[in-house]
Structure 1
């Protein structure tokens, strides 16, 4: 080994994803950070550092911190500098230019296959292009099929590759690698609420802003509000102010929807974030249908509904894969109920929703010891439930799985669906009247155990059923109140006032809370004063 500057690359971890913490020492110099593997979704973590070889040797040691050590690979490449690349833009991926440069390197190697400088730069270029491929694949179904990797896994794999590239600040790919890495960490933070990712993203964006201060995208990533000058103004000058604001809001919304439909959406309805997340965008598109009768919004809505239905990930109008109801229900719940308004009276969508409700009768629910109809679990698919501890509970959010049926019942008053929903709704109303496990009478519980009708399921607290995600806790009102929406829907269909009992009770509590100043002070969770506080504040999710 010759003396000089090199780049050392270590891939640490193990194929079985056994947790490891490791310290790396290079020539008696300890790297400042402990290396942990698995690194989020990846079984490995790669580090690349510039090192100096003296005395014709390099000593690298990896020591476990309360764990074994796992070493996938080690590379040592001399630092021979890099050739410049002619780019077509300042910070974007520009894979066209990078691929052209790669072809140039390959041609150089045809003349001299032992040229280490070219070989080493080709290695970095390939890492960069693979990172771009992973990132650009997003949640598109083609990317998952081609790679066999999920969206989030590929984002972490791309980050691991890009961090190797930016180990050399003089590399011509350095700045655009930092930009792509910042975007990845920003969106991973949005997905996982990870402060470490947020900090990294802001650090990279702040450094890039110094290089490109006029870049509006970077400024927006850093939180700056950029004025939209393109929204058309009201032509009717005598319009009241509320109408002016409403017109502007509608135009802004249509502009966003039109971009997604014309620039991003494919023929199978996908928007690039995987179907399970793409469908969530439709939750705010209906005003464009009902308020503006917008043809592009209708087209995009229909594409996504049909795309999900024909994707192969549904069976009998529900997810094939078992998951908690928040996730397993959204594919169908977020796409098909709205079709009653997008394509009113279309028998295709009515039939799909009717098919989905067969699952409610045949798979999801049963009769408890108290004679109540409840879901057997909150982990479910079209063909099975998971009734074992701790999943054997009915939760308020199971109403999410029933929204397609609620719209079908609204449209055709199907007696079978209405009767089944009466049984389920009446069971929850009866459970609300119970004052068990510390729950105040009149308040809907967060969960009910199927096997014994226990309020709160297997949890010692009625308001925290100790389930997989905290959004099943009672104070996450935006989620648990989906049951209230279902009950109000039942009232709209049947005009039976019993379905407004809990809604009216909550309204009375809110009115009382507004008069009780002491409710601004801390109270123990679970009691009636705590319930009032949550209702008045909107709960943990402020909904």
Structure 2
């Protein structure tokens, strides 16, 4: 009898434990967390993250979670980890890692559509920026799946090129006699400024980076001084200061030029080598007018033109190459040509001329500009007069470079 009694007590304990677990499994916290995750699945990414965090907090309070609660906790943790790695300084590596994490989010996953949203972004931008054309079709299927469940999803609609409901601008009303162009320009400024502020509030790191690496970050932010000048926008001015100062003090920068590291200097093409300085430092002479730090930095950058360019036997000033570092020219003869893109290196000098009319910088830039005018007016090698040549060999001065490509490439418009 005593043995039977002990067995009965043990059985009761087991039943109570199972019942307690079952009760926690179906507790209001688990039910509410499930509802929140379903809402997050259909929301935009910012609202979704907030809802997932609330669901995670509810699940953390479940004392003895059963299989369903444990699975929901795993879903929350995976989602939050993937979102966190999606926006690092190295965006490609981060989005690849996030895409791998979201692969396990099948149609039965409560955050399935959120997984498709981030995977679709990854495939789309990998296709846009690299040799991956199939990524467009892959991403379209993902965004179309999202719209089947939520036809009004703004981000998915924008990726598919479909119209979205405009958000009203929060602006004071204007007088009836205000010019139409001024009203339109005012609203355009409002929206572009809001876009800039969104990036600063949600993406800019403490060191100023925006997530695309310094090369792309400066291309993105190179026109933002407009808001500092026209609206005295302190947030933008401080953001541009963080970008300019942290780039200037990067170990990859030496003597005002991107050059790799002191252990190994890199010889890079001027388009990618010059943009670090030319798209960050000159506009600081506008955003922080009169600040000697930025005046001197731009003077230091353009001082390199004395080494990088020279007067050739034909009497023209040209850059000696278009692959170089702060102190080295590329050894291959193929790159010993001047190209219109070298104008990107002269941008700091243009601001120095504007600010101080520096005589040496003015001489260098005038001589370089005159040389390109002369070549543009030439009709050699079948080039029509007025067409800017694609490149000019430094030593011998013929247009067209080593391969005799006479007409300038389309990147001239980006200088």
TM range (shorter): 0.7 to 0.9
Answer yes or no: is 1:368 the counterpart of 2:312: yes
The answer to whether the 8 A contact 1:185-1:200 is kept is: yes
Structure 1 segments unaligned to the other structure (5+ residues): 1-82, 110-114, 141-149, 464-472, 483-543
Answer yes or no: is 1:136 the counterpart of 2:57: no
The residue that corresponds to 2:304 in the other structure is 359
SS at match of 2:199: helix
1:474 to 404, 409, 412: 409
Q: Aligned partners of 1:155, 1:380: CA distance in 2, in Å? A: 32
Answer yes or no: is 1:379 the counterpart of 2:312: no
Q: State TM-score, norm by structure 2.
A: 0.76
SS at match of 1:440: coil
SS at match of 1:366: strand
C-alpha distance after superposition, 1:128-181 (max 9, x if no partner): 6664443132xx2xxxxxxxxx43244334434534x25x44345533222210
C-alpha distance after superposition, 1:80-109 (max 9, x if no partner): xxx9984542254747579889999xx999
Q: State TM-score, norm by structure 1.
A: 0.60
Distance 1:176 1:98, change over 3 A: farther
The residue that corresponds to 1:71 in the other structure is none
Answer yes or no: is 1:332 the counterpart of 2:277: yes
1:208 to 146, 157, 176: 146
The answer to whether the 8 A contact 1:377-1:387 is kept is: no
Larger Rg: 2
C-alpha distance after superposition, 1:262-287 (max 9, x if no partner): 44334422222222111122333233
Distance 1:307 1:418, change over 3 A: same
The residue that corresponds to 1:424 in the other structure is 368
C-alpha distance after superposition, 1:430-450 (max 9, x if no partner): 322333232223432111122
Q: Which has the higher strand share?
A: 1
Distance 1:101 1:329, change over 3 A: farther
Distance 1:220 1:413, change over 3 A: same
The residue that corresponds to 1:239 in the other structure is 178
Distance 1:133 1:254, change over 3 A: closer
SS at match of 1:374: strand
Structure 2 segments unaligned to the other structure (5+ residues): 1-29, 261-266
The answer to whether the 8 A contact 2:154-2:164 is kept is: no
Distance 1:447 1:170, change over 3 A: same
The residue that corresponds to 1:401 in the other structure is 345
Q: Aligned partners of 1:265, 1:193: CA distance in 2, in Å? A: 28
The residue that corresponds to 2:15 in the other structure is none
C-alpha distance after superposition, 1:56-97 (max 9, x if no partner): xxxxxxxxxxxxxxxxxxxxxxxxxxx998454225474757
Structure 1 position 461, deviation (Å): 3.0
Answer yes or no: is 1:152 the counterpart of 2:92: yes
SS at match of 2:141: helix
The answer to whether the 8 A contact 1:135-1:155 is kept is: yes
SS at match of 1:284: coil
The answer to whether the 8 A contact 1:233-1:248 is kept is: no
The residue that corresponds to 1:304 in the other structure is 243
Map residues 450-489 of structure 1 onto 2, 5 A cutoff: 450-463=394-407, 473-479=408-414, 482=415
Map residues 139-218 of structure 1 onto 2, 5 A cutoff: 140=89, 150-163=90-103, 165-166=104-105, 168-192=106-130, 194-218=132-156
Distance 1:245 1:433, change over 3 A: closer
The residue that corresponds to 1:21 in the other structure is none
Higher RCO (CA < 8 A, seq sep 6+): 2
Distance 1:158 1:260, change over 3 A: closer
SS at match of 2:395: coil
Over aligned residue pairs, what C-alpha RMSD do you find?
3.5
Distance 1:462 1:222, change over 3 A: same
How many aligned residue pairs are there? 368
Q: Aligned partners of 1:354, 1:180: CA distance in 2, in Å? A: 44
Distance 1:255 1:173, change over 3 A: closer
Distance 1:125 1:342, change over 3 A: closer
